[in-house]
Amino acid sequence: MQDLEVFFSFLHTERLTRFCDVDERIVRVFLNTLYDQRLSRKSVSRKISALRTFYKYLEREDVVDVNPFSAIRLPKTESKIPGFLYEKELEKLFEVSNLTQPLGQRNQALIELLYATGIRVSECRQLILDNIDFYIGTVFVQGKGRKERYIPYGKFAKIALETYIQDGRKALLAKSGQQTNALFLNNRGLPLTDRGIRDIMNKMVKNAALTVHVHPHKLRHTFATHLLNEGADLRSVQELLGHENLSTTQIYTHVTKDHLRRVYMRSHPRAND
């Protein structure tokens, strides 16, 4: 509704009292006013979409003969470069859990697995015990569209998971008096929710005294960025992340190019003036 109100205000300024008086020329004047306000492309696209839908309704109701927004192309939205954590920031997160307590063991297993596999919060929440294969070191994940994939994990995640499952999880499960195959449990012994995972991350970030904003999805960004920085090919990272389109994965190459430039400027003898 707010997007429509912006347009109505524009019409009032232009002294246009009827919707049928709006043509493509008026629409382009309106777009110029939006760009003059330095609105983002995403914001402009949203307003155009809302007004296109509004004028479709006016067409159906015979208020206007044509939709002046139908021929207007939406501006391409900027690709938002994902944020990621540096290794020193990660180490601080890995050091805050109290590994002598069940909740600390769970938190350590959770963060190690999120970083080791790059899985989404929703995928992590759905994990059950049988999804973890300790023999070959993989986790079975059912992602978007019920697409399945196996993701390997390393030594640190394995140790954290084994400790949690053998000790911490059993202690948490005893609190509920119920049986569940859910891998990650809350402090009442019930399956963790998406919100529960985010709350755990927020507390860990606070305890680690990190100055950057960290959310579970940032660990997914970090997973992808670190793999590419170390030479992993884009197709493999796409498969590990469960992206349907390679273009979705390619956004991480912007981050790695910046990383490579910094390495070059720091290391090449003739890079600096």
Catalytic choice (56, 149, 175, 217): 217
Q: What confidence score (pLDDT) does residue 143 get?
A: 85
243 is catalytic: yes
Listing DSSP states for the chain in one string gives -HHHHHHHHHHHHTT---GGG--HHHHHHHHHHHHHTT--HHHHHHHHHHHHHHHHHHHHTTS-SS-TTTTPPPPPPPPPPPP---HHHHHHHHT-S-TTSHHHHHHHHHHHHHHHH---HHHHHT-BGGGEETTTTEEEEE-GGG-EEEEE--HHHHHHHHHIIIIIHHHHHHHHT----BSSB-TTSSBPPHHHHHHHHHHHHHHTT-SS---HHHHHHHHHHHHHHTT--HHHHHHHHT-SSHHHHHHHHHHHHHHHHHHHHHH-TTS--
Give me the catalytic one of 144, 170, 203, 235: 144
**Catalytic residue list contains 221:** no
**Contact call for residues 141 and 131 (beta carbons, < 8 A):** yes
Below-70 pLDDT ranges, the chain: 1, 75-82, 254-260, 263, 268, 270-273
HEC profile of 190-232: CECCHHHHHHHHHHHHHHCCCCCCCCHHHHHHHHHHHHHHCCC
Report the alpha-carbon distance of residue 226 to residue 85 in Å, rounded: 9
Query: In the prediction, which pLDDT does 266 show?
Result: 72
Q: What is the pLDDT of residue 28?
A: 84
Domain at 87-265, CATH homologous superfamily: Intergrase catalytic core (1.10.443.10)
Active-site choice (115, 153, 164, 252): 252
Distance CA 5, CA 74 (A): 19
- Told to judge if 217 belongs to the known catalytic residues of this protein, a careful annotator would answer yes
Q: Against a cut of 0.85, is the pTM above it?
A: no
pLDDT for residue 127: 97
- Choose, from 169, 220, 221, 226, the residue flagged as catalytic: 220
- Token pair 């049928």: residue: 20
Tell which residue, 65, 165, 49, 150, has the closest CA to residue 108: 165
Give per-residue pLDDT as tens, 20-66. 888 888 888 888 888 778 777 788 888 888 898 998 999 998 898 98
Domain boundaries, the chain: 2-60, 87-265
State the pLDDT at residue 129: 97
Question: Looking at 106, 120, 169, 218, which residue is catalytic?
Answer: 120
Query: Alpha-carbon distance 141 to 119, whole Å?
Result: 8
pLDDT score, position 81 = 61
Nearest-angstrom CA–CA distance, 53 and 124: 37
